[in-house]
């Protein structure tokens, strides 16, 4: 399963959510499908997309927040799972694209290539809904059900180790940051 | 020597008076009372982290949501969070307000805190993180409000160092 196919399968639903991605392939591929003001791409600080999503979800409890994480990033901050589980915001969907590789940093294998099980780690950390998907239909169904569940979900999508040929896009980091913050605050004023 | 309940309460009241509603924290002995007061306040959300780095991400998300936030950590937690302070806080211009228990300075009887105490201020200066020391109840609110104003205006991480004289009973 290609990560890009997963993103395309749920792209219409992302319009209604606040979306936080990690750096690398996820950021490039989501922008390739079409940037929106409700998408924020955390282009550094590996591991903290889920922490940022948690802060957003607690600050805007009426909004649905989707974090698009990766195996390398999550492995750098496994404590985020137990922290999210302790707060357990009902409006947070945590997707992990597991390609078993630090792809954008030179394509070296991560611990999931050696058998680390992120769905199992999420469940054992107290995440109330921890699920996996191995094909696009499964992924789409699991994502839609997570959006409607009203319960913190970690969805691990097992994807191929492949990605774009370049990691830079023409969207400035601060342009993205200020546009996203302005979008979030417009939701409060409404 | 016990932790000062009165000054812990003053710190909690000041944090609340500044409109801070999301606090990420990792406790150590000086911080247990103030974190307990925040946890007991239904108008505030306490996020109990596993590692201090998380607090930088949580405050970034809270800021985007338009909610004032802070992180409360010991200085070894600040050391642990240096990468995200730089690669998220400074890169993405996040007004991150950090309350840091300044362990390992004069009056601290525990030698394992000393190396962290010695490097805390030099590291803050190297990182260009503006900071003030909180050492007396009389100047506490003024300095916290000043730090918050600078952070919000300049979109910068800033630090307030909680000193032994403030946090412990005399």
Is residue B162 pLDDT above 70, yes or no? Answer: yes
CA A48 – CA A41 distance, rounded (Å): 11
For residue A98, the model assigns a pLDDT of: 98
Burial (CB count <10 Å: 0-12, 13-18, 19+), residue A165: exposed
Residue B144: in which H helix or E strand, if any? helix B137-154
Closest CA to A79 of B63, B55, B83, B70: B55
* Residue A29 lies inside a defined structural domain of this protein: no
User: How far does the CA of residue A135 sit from the closest CA of chain B (Å)?
Assistant: 31
Task: Indicate the pTM of the whole model.
Answer: 0.97
Mutation target to probe the B interface, by most B beta carbons within 10 A, among A47, A51, A67, A173 is A51
* Residue A30 lies inside a defined structural domain of this protein: no
What chain A residue is nearest to B92 in terms of C-alpha separation? A174
Q: Hey, are the CB atoms on A44 and B91 less than 8 Å from each other?
A: yes
A59 interface with B at CB cutoff 8 Å: yes
Structure token pair of residue A169: 């896009």
A180 interface with B at CB cutoff 8 Å: yes
Which CATH number is B68's domain given? 3.40.50.970
CA A129 – CA A92 distance, rounded (Å): 11
pLDDT tens, position by position, A92-107: 999 999 999 999 888 9
Residues of chain B neighbouring A48 (CB-CB closer than 8 A): 53-54, 56-57, 60, 84, 88
Task: State the residue for tokens 């590692």.
Answer: B51
pLDDT tens, position by position, B37-91: 999 999 999 999 999 999 999 999 999 999 999 999 999 999 999 999 999 999 9
User: How far does the CA of residue A53 sit from the closest CA of chain B (Å)?
Assistant: 6
A52 interface with B at CB cutoff 8 Å: yes
A124 interface with B at CB cutoff 8 Å: no
pLDDT tens, position by position, B36-48: 999 999 999 999 9
Beta bridge partners of A152: none
Residues of chain A neighbouring B62 (CB-CB closer than 8 A): 55-56, 58-59
pLDDT tens, position by position, B97-150: 999 999 999 999 999 999 999 999 999 999 999 999 999 999 999 999 999 999
- Tally of domains within chain A: 1
For residue B170, the model assigns a pLDDT of: 80
Say how many Å lie between the first and final Cα of chain B, rounded: 8
Number of CB pairs, chain A paired with chain B, less than 8 A apart: 115
For residue A189, the model assigns a pLDDT of: 66
Range of the domain at B81: 5-167
* Residue A23 lies inside a defined structural domain of this protein: no
For residue A136, the model assigns a pLDDT of: 98
A58 interface with B at CB cutoff 8 Å: yes
Of the partner residues A55, A82, A184, the one whose CB lies closest to the CB of residue B57: A55
Give helix A173-189 / helix B53-64 axis angle, nearest 10°: 60
Closest CA to B59 of B8, B95, B13, B108: B95
Range of the domain at A180: 3-17+45-189
Q: Coil, strand, or helix at residue A77?
A: coil
* Residue A164 lies inside a defined structural domain of this protein: yes
What chain B residue is nearest to A78 in terms of C-alpha separation? B50
* Residue A91 lies inside a defined structural domain of this protein: yes
Which CATH number is A90's domain given? 3.40.50.970
- Tally of domains within chain B: 1
Residues of chain A neighbouring B56 (CB-CB closer than 8 A): 45, 48, 51
Ordered per-residue pLDDT tens for chain A, 190 residues: 999 999 999 999 999 999 999 999 999 999 999 999 999 999 999 999 999 999 999 999 999 999 999 999 999 999 999 999 999 999 999 999 999 999 988 899 999 999 999 999 999 999 999 999 999 999 999 999 999 999 999 999 999 998 898 889 999 999 999 999 999 999 986 5
Task: State the residue for tokens 């974090």.
Answer: A67
Residues of chain B neighbouring A177 (CB-CB closer than 8 A): 92-93
User: How far does the CA of residue A48 sit from the closest CA of chain B (Å)?
Assistant: 5
Mutation target to probe the A interface, by most A beta carbons within 10 A, among B84, B92, B96, B154 is B92
A residues 86-105 lying closer than 8 A (beta carbon) to B: 86-87
Q: Hey, are the CB atoms on A181 and B63 less than 8 Å from each other?
A: yes
For residue A190, the model assigns a pLDDT of: 52
What chain A residue is nearest to B82 in terms of C-alpha separation? A45
A39 interface with B at CB cutoff 8 Å: no
| Torsion sign, CA atoms A45, A50, A55, A56 | positive
């Amino acid at each position: 399963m290609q990560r890009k196919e997963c993103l395309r399968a749920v792209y219409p639903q992302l319009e209604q959510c606040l979306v936080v991605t990690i750096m690398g392939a996820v950021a490039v591929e989501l922008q390739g499908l079409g940037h929106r003001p409700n998408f924020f791409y955390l282009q550094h600080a590996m591991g903290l997309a889920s922490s940022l999503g948690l802060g957003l979800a607690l600050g805007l409890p009426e909004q649905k927040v989707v974090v698009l994480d990766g195996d390398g990033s999550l492995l750098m901050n496994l404590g985020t799972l137990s922290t999210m589980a302790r707060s357990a915001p009902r409006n947070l969907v945590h997707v992990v694209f597991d390609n078993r590789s630090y792809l954008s940093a030179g394509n070296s294998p991560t611990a999931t290539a050696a058998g680390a099980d992120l769905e199992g780690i999420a469940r054992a950390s107290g995440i109330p809904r921890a699920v996996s998907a191995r094909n696009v239909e499964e992924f789409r169904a699991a994502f839609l059900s997570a959006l409607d569940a009203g319960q913190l979900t970690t969805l691990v999508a097992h994807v191929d180790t492949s990605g774009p040929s370049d990691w830079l896009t023409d969207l400035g980091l601060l342009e993205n940051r200020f546009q996203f913050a302005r979008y979030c605050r417009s939701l409060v004023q409404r | 020597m016990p932790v000062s309940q009165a000054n812990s309460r003053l710190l909690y009241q000041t944090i609340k008076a500044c409109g801070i509603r999301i606090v990420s924290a990792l406790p150590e002995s000086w911080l247990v009372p103030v974190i307990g007061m925040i946890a007991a306040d239904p108008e505030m959300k306490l996020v109990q982290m596993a590692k201090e780095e998380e607090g930088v991400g949580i405050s970034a998300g809270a800021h985007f949501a338009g909610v004032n936030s802070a992180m409360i950590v010991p200085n070894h937690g600040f050391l642990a969070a240096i990468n995200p302070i730089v690669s998220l806080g400074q890169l993405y211009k996040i007004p991150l307000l950090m309350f840091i228990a300044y362990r390992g300075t004069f009056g601290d009887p525990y030698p394992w805190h000393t190396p962290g105490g010695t490097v805390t201020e030099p590291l803050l200066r190297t990182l260009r993180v503006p900071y003030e020391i909180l050492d007396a109840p009389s100047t506490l609110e003024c300095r916290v409000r000043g730090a918050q104003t600078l952070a919000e205006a300049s979109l910068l991480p800033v630090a307030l160092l909680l000193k032994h004289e403030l946090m412990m009973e005399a």
